[in-house]
Amino acid sequence: SSGSGSSSSSSSIQGRIVTIKSEDFIVEDNKIDKNCYRIDEVYDMSMLWHDYQLNIIRNVKFLGNENGTIFNYNHDRRGVFQVTVNKDVKFFQIENIIFENYVVENATDGIQIFFFIIDSDKLQIISKNCTYRENKQNLFRIDISSSKNHDKKVPYVLFDHCNFM
């Protein structure tokens, strides 16, 4: 389900807040404008029959519960995210999410939890307070089509207080 919302921070961006429950893991029009809150404790990703294609048009945070929202892939590859990012987006942040048991037998290229298609030299992908455990496949793939040189002082991918087990 989704609703409108705004933030009181002066540096925030106006947009839509999307709250996702496990029984309706759907985002309207495949577009996310601001924050995407996960309110259930566990999502069984193996129960999903498709992958998610998201078009990101503004800075986005995927926020799990304070103690970590679990995305359990149950040794399957269903429920992966293909994220197409607009050239004006500066960050895509994943926070407080536990990704576990992502295993792809006879893996081929292009099967990761997150596949980013980026047309920007400004985007930073941030994984903050996340845990990656018992995963036996690549977690991220990033295809960048920007013709500009990236600012070497800003990493494309930043892992901030993450655990890998």
Q: Which domain holds residue 130?
A: 2-164
pLDDT of residue 130: 97
pLDDT of residue 165: 93
Q: Report residue 22's pLDDT band, with 50, 70 and 90 as the boundaries.
A: very low
80 or 50, greater pLDDT:
80
Strand 131-133, strand 97-102: pairing: parallel
Q: How many domains does the chain have?
A: 1
- Token digits of residue 73: 């892939």
Mean pLDDT taken over the chain = 74
CA dist., res. 68 & res. 17, Å (int): 19
| Residue 151 clears pLDDT 70, i.e. is over it | no
Closest CA to 62 of 127, 1, 156: 127
pLDDT of residue 70: 93
| Residue 38 clears pLDDT 70, i.e. is over it | no
Entry pTM: 0.73
